[in-house]
Chains A and B, each alone.
Chain A
C-alpha cells in the first residue's frame, strides 16, 4: 500500500508539474522537505529520550505491570496477539491516554516505545503484525477528545464560542475510531494477511 501511495504521489506530482509549469516549485520543494524531515526526526530526540527515561522508571518500579493488569482485560480484546503481561500493553495504554488528552509530545514517544515492544513479538522482521496494524489504525483514526489546535485557531479568529466544536468533534472522532477498529479487525481475518 505504501509502495503504491508513494509512487503515486511522485508520478502524479511530476506529471502535474510538467502540465502546469510548476516544475521549478516542485524541484525547489524537494530539498526543503528532506531537510524538514531531518529536522523533525532530530527534534524528536529530546522528547523521545525524556519519555523513554520516564517509561523505564515505570517499568523498573513495577508500575507498568500494575497498569497492564488493570487494563489487560480490555487490551487483550483489542490486541489478541499480545500476552496480557507484556510491556507493550502498558506502553500502548499510556500512548492512547496521552492521545485522548491531546498530549502529542508525550503520545508520539510512547507510541514509538509501544511499537518497539510490539516488535519483540514479531516473528518476521520488516513486516507488521496484526497488533501493530490495529495500534496504528487506532492512532491514525485520531483518539484526541478535545482538538486544542482547532479551538485555538477559532479563538484566534475571533470566534464568540470556539469550544462549541468539542461535542461534535467527540462524536465524529468516535465514528472514525470505531471504523478504524472494525476495518483493522476485519482485515486481520483476511487470508492474504495471514502469516
Chain B
C-alpha cells in the first residue's frame, strides 16, 4: 500500500468511526438512535437555506472578478525578480484565486501540472500551496451565513494573513526540499 493509499484509508476509517461508532455508542447508552437522528437532521434544510444569500453575495462578486479579466491583469503585474524563486504567474494566479474559489484553484493547479509536468518544481509548489491554504471567503460566507452574522470582526484578516503565510511558507519549504 502506498503512503497516499494508507493516508486516505486512515481518513476513511475516521469517517466510519464518526458515522457508525456514534450511533452504536448511542444505542449502547439506551438512546433511540433513529428518532434522535431524524430529530437532529430536521434542521439541515433551514441552515442550508439560510446560507444562500451569503453565498450568492460572495460567489457573484468572485465570479465577476474572474470574468472581468482583473485576475489576469493582477498576475501579469508580477515582478520578474519573483520568477527567480519559482513564483511564475500561474503560481501567483493560484495563490490569489485560492481564498476565493476551491474549484478554480484546483483547475489552475491542473493547468500548471499539464504545462510544467507533474514532477516539476511549479507543480509541487502549487500542490503544497493548495494544501496549506483554504478557500477563506467561502468558509466565511458559509459559517457566518449559517448564524446570520455580517459583522465579522477580524476573522477575515486572520484568514487572509494565514493564507499569505501559507503561500510564503510553501515557497520557502519547496525551495529547501525540491530546490
Q: Which of B11-67 contact A (CB under 8 A)?
A: 11, 14-15, 18-19, 22-23, 25-26, 28-29, 31, 33, 36-45, 47-49, 51-52, 55-67
Q: What's the minimum C-beta distance from B52 to chain A, rounded to whole angstroms?
A: 4
A78-107 to B contact mask, C-beta < 8 Å, 1/0: 000000000000000010011001110010
B63→A33 contact, CB < 8 A: yes
The reply to whether A142 and B73 contact each other, CB–CB distance below 8 Å, is no
Does the CB pair B65–A9 fall under 8 Å? Answer: yes
Interface centre among A44, A97, A125, A188 (most CB of B within 10 A): A44
Docked pose: A130 CA to B153 CA in angstroms: 8
Total interface residues in chain B, CB < 8 Å: 103
In B55-104, which residues have CB < 8 Å from any A CB?
55-70, 73, 99
Residues on B close to A: CB < 8 A?
2-4, 7-8, 10-11, 14-15, 18-19, 22-23, 25-26, 28-29, 31, 33, 36-45, 47-49, 51-52, 55-70, 73, 99, 106, 109-110, 113-114, 117-119, 123-124, 126-134, 136-137, 139-140, 142-144, 146-159, 161-163, 165-166, 169-170, 173-174, 177-178
Whether A16 touches B170, Cβ cut-off 8 Å, given contacts A132-B149, A163-B4, is no
In the complex the two chains form, what is the Cα distance from A179 to B148 in whole Å?
A: 27
A6-B58, A144-B131 given. 11 additional CB < 8 A pairs? Answer: A25-B68, A40-B59, A53-B37, A53-B41, A106-B15, A108-B142, A150-B106, A160-B119, A168-B124, A176-B169, A180-B159
- The prevalent SS among residues of A at the interface is helix
Question: Assuming A61-B26, A115-B146, A175-B132, is B113 touching A154 (CB within 8 A)?
Answer: yes
CB-defined contacts of B37 to chain A, threshold 8 Å: 53-54, 56-57
Complex-state Cα separation, A111 to B84, whole angstroms: 40
A-B contact pairs, 20 of them (CB 8 A): A9-B61, A16-B69, A37-B60, A48-B45, A48-B48, A56-B41, A60-B31, A126-B149, A136-B140, A137-B159, A140-B155, A141-B134, A142-B132, A142-B133, A146-B11, A153-B113, A157-B117, A166-B7, A175-B165, A177-B162
In the complex, which residue of chain B has the Cβ closest to the Cβ of A20?
B69
Interface residues of A (CB under 8 A from B): 1-2, 5-6, 9-10, 12-14, 16-17, 20, 22, 25-26, 28-30, 32-34, 36-38, 40-42, 44-46, 48-50, 52-63, 94, 97-98, 101-103, 106, 108-109, 111-112, 115-116, 118-119, 122, 125-128, 130, 132-133, 135-137, 139-142, 144, 146-151, 153-169, 171-173, 175-177, 179-180, 183-184, 187-188, 190, 193
